[in-house]
Amino acid sequence: MDNNQPIIVKRIKRSAGGHHGGAWKIAFADFAVAMMAFFLVMWLLTVASPEELQQISGYFNDPIGFEEGGSPYAIDLGGTPTVAPDRTLSDIREDESPIPDDTQSESASKTVEQVASEQVEKRELEMLLQELQNKIDVEPVLQRFKDQILLEITQDGLRIQIVDAENRPMFASGSPELRPYFEEILLALSDTIAVVPKKISIGGHTDAAPFVGRRGYGNWELSTERANAARRTLLAAGYPENQLARVVGFADSALFDRADPLNPINRRIDIVVLNKRAEDQILEGLGDQVESLGAPAQQDDSEPPAPLEQSAPLESPAEPLQEPEQEQARPPRSTNFFEDGGDPQSFEE
Protein backbone atom coordinates (compact mmCIF):
# COMPACT_ATOMS: atom_id res chain seq x y z
CA MET A 1 0.00 0.00 0.00
CA ASP A 2 1.45 3.31 -1.07
CA ASN A 3 1.24 6.00 1.69
CA ASN A 4 3.11 8.73 -0.19
CA GLN A 5 0.02 10.97 -0.77
CA PRO A 6 0.69 14.72 -0.49
CA ILE A 7 -0.61 16.47 2.63
CA ILE A 8 -2.33 19.76 1.87
CA VAL A 9 -2.40 22.30 4.70
CA LYS A 10 -4.80 25.27 4.24
CA ARG A 11 -3.92 28.32 6.29
CA ILE A 12 -6.51 31.11 6.56
CA LYS A 13 -5.04 34.50 7.15
CA ARG A 14 -7.28 36.66 9.32
CA SER A 15 -6.83 40.42 9.20
CA ALA A 16 -8.84 43.47 10.31
CA GLY A 17 -11.35 45.05 7.95
CA GLY A 18 -9.96 47.47 5.41
CA HIS A 19 -10.80 51.15 4.94
CA HIS A 20 -14.30 51.63 3.55
CA GLY A 21 -13.89 55.26 2.37
CA GLY A 22 -15.12 58.66 3.77
CA ALA A 23 -18.27 59.29 1.74
CA TRP A 24 -20.37 59.67 4.89
CA LYS A 25 -18.08 62.41 6.14
CA ILE A 26 -18.58 64.39 2.97
CA ALA A 27 -22.34 63.97 3.23
CA PHE A 28 -22.31 65.08 6.86
CA ALA A 29 -20.18 68.12 6.01
CA ASP A 30 -22.61 69.10 3.25
CA PHE A 31 -25.52 68.75 5.67
CA ALA A 32 -23.77 70.92 8.29
CA VAL A 33 -23.02 73.63 5.71
CA ALA A 34 -26.63 73.55 4.49
CA MET A 35 -27.95 73.91 8.06
CA MET A 36 -25.59 76.79 8.73
CA ALA A 37 -26.70 78.54 5.55
CA PHE A 38 -30.34 77.97 6.51
CA PHE A 39 -29.91 79.55 9.93
CA LEU A 40 -28.00 82.46 8.42
CA VAL A 41 -30.87 83.09 6.01
CA MET A 42 -33.39 82.96 8.86
CA TRP A 43 -31.32 85.40 10.90
CA LEU A 44 -30.97 87.83 7.99
CA LEU A 45 -34.72 87.77 7.38
CA THR A 46 -35.26 88.56 11.04
CA VAL A 47 -32.91 91.55 11.25
CA ALA A 48 -33.61 92.96 7.78
CA SER A 49 -35.79 96.05 7.52
CA PRO A 50 -38.95 96.11 5.36
CA GLU A 51 -37.12 98.14 2.69
CA GLU A 52 -34.32 95.59 2.52
CA LEU A 53 -36.82 92.72 2.28
CA GLN A 54 -38.51 94.54 -0.58
CA GLN A 55 -35.17 94.88 -2.37
CA ILE A 56 -34.44 91.18 -1.88
CA SER A 57 -37.85 90.30 -3.30
CA GLY A 58 -37.26 92.59 -6.27
CA TYR A 59 -33.89 90.99 -6.96
CA PHE A 60 -35.30 87.45 -7.09
CA ASN A 61 -38.30 88.58 -9.14
CA ASP A 62 -36.22 90.49 -11.70
CA PRO A 63 -32.45 89.96 -11.32
CA ILE A 64 -31.81 91.40 -14.78
CA GLY A 65 -33.32 94.70 -13.75
CA PHE A 66 -30.98 94.90 -10.78
CA GLU A 67 -27.95 94.15 -12.97
CA GLU A 68 -28.98 96.76 -15.56
CA GLY A 69 -29.47 99.25 -12.75
CA GLY A 70 -25.78 99.05 -11.94
CA SER A 71 -25.92 96.85 -8.81
CA PRO A 72 -26.20 93.07 -9.20
CA TYR A 73 -26.73 92.71 -5.43
CA ALA A 74 -30.07 92.64 -3.69
CA ILE A 75 -28.81 94.85 -0.86
CA ASP A 76 -26.17 97.40 -1.81
CA LEU A 77 -23.90 97.98 1.17
CA GLY A 78 -21.69 100.39 -0.72
CA GLY A 79 -18.67 100.00 -2.98
CA THR A 80 -20.56 98.55 -5.94
CA PRO A 81 -20.54 100.29 -9.33
CA THR A 82 -23.57 102.37 -10.26
CA VAL A 83 -24.88 103.80 -13.50
CA ALA A 84 -23.26 107.11 -14.43
CA PRO A 85 -25.59 110.07 -13.86
CA ASP A 86 -26.86 112.22 -16.70
CA ARG A 87 -25.02 115.24 -15.31
CA THR A 88 -21.63 115.45 -13.65
CA LEU A 89 -20.17 118.01 -11.30
CA SER A 90 -18.40 119.73 -14.18
CA ASP A 91 -21.74 120.42 -15.82
CA ILE A 92 -22.93 122.49 -12.90
CA ARG A 93 -21.99 126.11 -13.11
CA GLU A 94 -20.27 127.76 -10.21
CA ASP A 95 -23.16 130.09 -9.53
CA GLU A 96 -25.56 127.17 -9.42
CA SER A 97 -23.49 125.07 -7.03
CA PRO A 98 -25.68 123.77 -4.22
CA ILE A 99 -25.20 125.36 -0.81
CA PRO A 100 -25.38 122.94 2.10
CA ASP A 101 -28.49 123.55 4.16
CA ASP A 102 -27.99 123.24 7.89
CA THR A 103 -31.72 123.08 8.49
CA GLN A 104 -31.97 119.79 6.61
CA SER A 105 -29.29 118.17 8.75
CA GLU A 106 -30.89 119.54 11.90
CA SER A 107 -34.33 118.24 10.87
CA ALA A 108 -32.82 114.84 10.03
CA SER A 109 -31.14 114.64 13.44
CA LYS A 110 -34.37 115.70 15.14
CA THR A 111 -36.26 113.01 13.24
CA VAL A 112 -33.79 110.33 14.36
CA GLU A 113 -33.99 111.53 17.96
CA GLN A 114 -37.78 111.60 17.80
CA VAL A 115 -37.97 108.04 16.47
CA ALA A 116 -35.58 106.85 19.19
CA SER A 117 -37.56 108.59 21.93
CA GLU A 118 -40.84 107.14 20.61
CA GLN A 119 -39.36 103.65 20.72
CA VAL A 120 -38.17 104.13 24.30
CA GLU A 121 -41.57 105.53 25.24
CA LYS A 122 -43.32 102.57 23.66
CA ARG A 123 -41.18 100.15 25.67
CA GLU A 124 -42.07 102.02 28.87
CA LEU A 125 -45.78 101.75 28.10
CA GLU A 126 -45.43 98.06 27.27
CA MET A 127 -43.68 97.49 30.60
CA LEU A 128 -46.46 99.40 32.37
CA LEU A 129 -49.06 97.23 30.63
CA GLN A 130 -47.24 94.09 31.78
CA GLU A 131 -47.04 95.38 35.37
CA LEU A 132 -50.77 96.17 35.39
CA GLN A 133 -51.57 92.74 33.94
CA ASN A 134 -49.46 91.05 36.61
CA LYS A 135 -51.15 93.10 39.30
CA ILE A 136 -54.59 92.15 38.00
CA ASP A 137 -53.63 88.46 38.07
CA VAL A 138 -52.18 88.62 41.60
CA GLU A 139 -54.34 90.98 43.67
CA PRO A 140 -57.69 89.49 44.75
CA VAL A 141 -59.45 92.86 44.50
CA LEU A 142 -58.61 93.16 40.79
CA GLN A 143 -58.78 89.46 40.00
CA ARG A 144 -62.53 89.41 40.57
CA PHE A 145 -63.05 92.08 37.93
CA LYS A 146 -60.36 91.10 35.40
CA ASP A 147 -63.03 90.50 32.75
CA GLN A 148 -64.08 94.15 33.08
CA ILE A 149 -60.56 95.63 32.87
CA LEU A 150 -59.22 95.88 29.31
CA LEU A 151 -55.64 96.94 28.51
CA GLU A 152 -54.23 97.83 25.10
CA ILE A 153 -51.57 99.98 23.42
CA THR A 154 -53.02 102.58 21.04
CA GLN A 155 -51.55 105.40 18.99
CA ASP A 156 -52.20 107.77 21.91
CA GLY A 157 -50.63 105.58 24.59
CA LEU A 158 -51.76 102.86 27.02
CA ARG A 159 -55.55 102.70 27.29
CA ILE A 160 -57.16 101.17 30.39
CA GLN A 161 -60.88 100.55 29.95
CA ILE A 162 -63.12 99.61 32.87
CA VAL A 163 -66.40 98.45 31.36
CA ASP A 164 -69.82 97.73 32.79
CA ALA A 165 -71.22 94.25 33.17
CA GLU A 166 -74.90 93.43 33.06
CA ASN A 167 -74.96 92.26 36.67
CA ARG A 168 -72.11 94.46 37.93
CA PRO A 169 -72.40 98.15 36.87
CA MET A 170 -69.75 100.68 37.86
CA PHE A 171 -72.20 103.49 38.63
CA ALA A 172 -75.67 103.76 40.02
CA SER A 173 -78.32 103.83 37.32
CA GLY A 174 -78.52 107.30 35.76
CA SER A 175 -76.11 108.70 38.36
CA PRO A 176 -72.41 109.61 38.57
CA GLU A 177 -72.15 107.91 41.98
CA LEU A 178 -69.47 105.21 41.94
CA ARG A 179 -70.11 101.72 43.21
CA PRO A 180 -67.77 100.65 46.04
CA TYR A 181 -66.06 97.94 43.99
CA PHE A 182 -65.34 100.42 41.18
CA GLU A 183 -63.65 102.68 43.71
CA GLU A 184 -61.56 99.70 44.82
CA ILE A 185 -60.45 99.12 41.22
CA LEU A 186 -59.36 102.74 40.78
CA LEU A 187 -57.60 102.79 44.14
CA ALA A 188 -55.69 99.60 43.28
CA LEU A 189 -54.61 100.83 39.84
CA SER A 190 -53.70 104.40 40.77
CA ASP A 191 -50.34 103.71 42.42
CA THR A 192 -49.09 101.62 39.48
CA ILE A 193 -50.17 104.24 36.91
CA ALA A 194 -48.55 107.04 38.93
CA VAL A 195 -45.13 105.36 38.70
CA VAL A 196 -44.82 106.47 35.06
CA PRO A 197 -44.36 110.28 34.92
CA LYS A 198 -46.88 110.80 32.15
CA LYS A 199 -50.17 112.66 31.95
CA ILE A 200 -53.45 110.80 31.65
CA SER A 201 -56.77 111.48 29.98
CA ILE A 202 -60.01 110.29 31.61
CA GLY A 203 -63.06 109.75 29.44
CA GLY A 204 -66.62 108.74 30.27
CA HIS A 205 -68.88 106.79 27.92
CA THR A 206 -72.55 105.78 27.98
CA ASP A 207 -74.69 103.51 25.87
CA ALA A 208 -77.20 104.77 23.30
CA ALA A 209 -80.18 104.64 25.64
CA PRO A 210 -81.51 108.22 26.04
CA PHE A 211 -81.37 109.63 29.55
CA VAL A 212 -84.75 110.50 31.06
CA GLY A 213 -85.61 111.89 34.43
CA ARG A 214 -84.13 115.39 34.45
CA ARG A 215 -84.84 118.23 32.08
CA GLY A 216 -81.81 119.63 30.27
CA TYR A 217 -79.65 116.70 31.37
CA GLY A 218 -78.55 113.95 29.01
CA ASN A 219 -75.84 111.42 28.26
CA TRP A 220 -73.28 114.15 27.59
CA GLU A 221 -73.64 115.58 31.09
CA LEU A 222 -73.84 112.11 32.64
CA SER A 223 -70.68 110.82 30.94
CA THR A 224 -68.76 113.98 31.87
CA GLU A 225 -69.79 113.78 35.53
CA ARG A 226 -68.85 110.10 35.69
CA ALA A 227 -65.40 110.84 34.26
CA ASN A 228 -65.01 113.64 36.82
CA ALA A 229 -66.06 111.25 39.61
CA ALA A 230 -63.29 108.87 38.50
CA ARG A 231 -60.85 111.80 38.59
CA ARG A 232 -61.81 112.65 42.17
CA THR A 233 -61.31 109.03 43.20
CA LEU A 234 -57.84 108.90 41.66
CA LEU A 235 -56.85 112.13 43.43
CA ALA A 236 -58.18 110.76 46.70
CA ALA A 237 -55.94 107.71 46.17
CA GLY A 238 -52.89 109.99 45.93
CA TYR A 239 -52.55 110.33 42.18
CA PRO A 240 -50.62 113.56 41.31
CA GLU A 241 -52.97 116.24 40.08
CA ASN A 242 -50.32 117.70 37.76
CA GLN A 243 -50.39 114.46 35.76
CA LEU A 244 -54.01 114.99 34.69
CA ALA A 245 -54.30 116.28 31.14
CA ARG A 246 -58.06 116.34 30.59
CA VAL A 247 -61.40 114.96 31.72
CA VAL A 248 -63.96 114.57 28.94
CA GLY A 249 -67.35 112.99 28.36
CA PHE A 250 -68.12 111.21 25.08
CA ALA A 251 -71.74 110.13 25.72
CA ASP A 252 -72.54 107.48 23.09
CA SER A 253 -70.37 108.99 20.33
CA ALA A 254 -67.65 106.30 20.66
CA LEU A 255 -69.44 103.00 21.26
CA PHE A 256 -67.37 99.96 22.17
CA ASP A 257 -69.92 97.60 20.58
CA ARG A 258 -71.33 99.38 17.54
CA ALA A 259 -73.41 96.36 16.57
CA ASP A 260 -75.36 96.60 19.85
CA PRO A 261 -75.57 100.23 21.03
CA LEU A 262 -77.44 99.17 24.19
CA ASN A 263 -74.80 96.65 25.26
CA PRO A 264 -73.69 97.33 28.87
CA ILE A 265 -70.05 97.18 27.74
CA ASN A 266 -70.58 100.56 26.05
CA ARG A 267 -70.89 102.13 29.52
CA ARG A 268 -67.28 102.49 30.54
CA ILE A 269 -64.50 104.70 31.85
CA ASP A 270 -61.24 104.81 29.92
CA ILE A 271 -57.94 106.06 31.33
CA VAL A 272 -55.30 106.74 28.68
CA VAL A 273 -51.67 107.09 29.77
CA LEU A 274 -50.66 109.55 27.06
CA ASN A 275 -47.49 109.41 25.05
CA LYS A 276 -45.57 112.60 24.27
CA ARG A 277 -47.18 113.13 20.87
CA ALA A 278 -50.75 112.82 22.16
CA GLU A 279 -49.96 115.01 25.17
CA ASP A 280 -48.53 117.73 22.91
CA GLN A 281 -51.61 117.59 20.69
CA ILE A 282 -53.92 118.03 23.69
CA LEU A 283 -51.91 120.92 25.11
CA GLU A 284 -51.67 122.55 21.69
CA GLY A 285 -55.42 122.30 21.25
CA LEU A 286 -56.05 123.82 24.67
CA GLY A 287 -53.60 126.61 23.90
CA ASP A 288 -55.40 127.43 20.65
CA GLN A 289 -58.74 127.57 22.49
CA VAL A 290 -57.38 129.90 25.16
CA GLU A 291 -55.76 132.12 22.52
CA SER A 292 -58.97 132.32 20.49
CA LEU A 293 -60.96 133.27 23.60
CA GLY A 294 -58.47 135.83 24.89
CA ALA A 295 -57.43 137.51 21.61
CA PRO A 296 -59.50 140.55 20.50
CA ALA A 297 -61.24 140.40 17.17
CA GLN A 298 -59.19 141.95 14.35
CA GLN A 299 -60.95 144.48 12.17
CA ASP A 300 -60.06 145.98 8.83
CA ASP A 301 -58.67 149.53 9.07
CA SER A 302 -60.33 150.54 5.82
CA GLU A 303 -63.82 150.05 7.22
CA PRO A 304 -65.14 151.57 10.43
CA PRO A 305 -66.04 149.08 13.12
CA ALA A 306 -69.64 148.01 13.10
CA PRO A 307 -71.60 149.21 16.16
CA LEU A 308 -72.59 146.59 18.68
CA GLU A 309 -76.23 145.66 18.81
CA GLN A 310 -77.55 146.48 22.24
CA SER A 311 -80.86 145.73 23.79
CA ALA A 312 -80.47 148.66 26.22
CA PRO A 313 -78.51 151.91 25.76
CA LEU A 314 -75.28 152.29 27.68
CA GLU A 315 -75.32 155.12 30.20
CA SER A 316 -72.33 157.42 30.53
CA PRO A 317 -70.45 156.80 33.77
CA ALA A 318 -70.25 160.57 34.44
CA GLU A 319 -74.04 160.97 34.53
CA PRO A 320 -75.91 159.60 37.52
CA LEU A 321 -78.64 157.11 36.90
CA GLN A 322 -82.11 158.59 37.24
CA GLU A 323 -85.18 156.61 38.06
CA PRO A 324 -88.11 157.24 35.70
CA GLU A 325 -91.22 158.64 37.27
CA GLN A 326 -93.35 155.91 35.82
CA GLU A 327 -92.20 152.40 35.16
CA GLN A 328 -92.49 151.76 31.45
CA ALA A 329 -93.10 148.38 29.96
CA ARG A 330 -89.78 146.88 28.91
CA PRO A 331 -89.29 144.18 26.34
CA PRO A 332 -88.52 140.71 27.74
CA ARG A 333 -84.89 140.51 28.88
CA SER A 334 -82.63 138.33 26.75
CA THR A 335 -80.72 135.66 28.58
CA ASN A 336 -77.81 135.85 26.15
CA PHE A 337 -75.06 138.10 27.49
CA PHE A 338 -73.58 138.69 24.05
CA GLU A 339 -76.89 139.97 22.64
CA ASP A 340 -76.98 142.55 25.47
CA GLY A 341 -73.62 143.92 24.34
CA GLY A 342 -72.03 143.20 27.68
CA ASP A 343 -74.29 145.65 29.59
CA PRO A 344 -74.24 144.69 33.27
CA GLN A 345 -77.52 146.61 33.77
CA SER A 346 -79.38 144.11 31.68
CA PHE A 347 -78.86 141.52 34.40
CA GLU A 348 -80.28 143.75 37.15
CA GLU A 349 -83.85 143.18 38.16
Give the whole-angstrom CA distance, residue 219 versus residue 211: 6
DSSP string, 37-105: HHHHHHHHHHHS-HHHHHHHHHHHH-HHHHHHTT--SSS--S-S--PPPSS-GGGS-GGGPPPPPHHHH
DSSP string, 144-205: TTGGGEEEEEETTEEEEEEE-BTTB-SB-TTS-PBPHHHHHHHHHHHHHHHTS---EEEEEE
Q: With 0.85 as the threshold, say if the pTM is over it.
A: no
Helix (H) or strand (E) holding 246, with range, is strand 244-251
Residue 186: CB atoms within 10 A of its CB come to: 24
Instruction: Tell me the pLDDT tens digit for each residue of 126-152.
Output: 999 999 999 998 888 888 888 899 999
Give the percent of the chain with pLDDT over 70.
Answer: 65
List the one residue out of 237, 137, 132, 225 whose CA is nearest residue 183: 237
Instruction: Give the pLDDT score at 232.
Output: 94
Instruction: Tell me the pLDDT tens digit for each residue of 189-234.
Output: 998 999 888 999 999 999 998 888 778 888 899 999 999 999 999 9
Of 37-41, 73-77, 112-116, the one with minimum mean pLDDT is 73-77
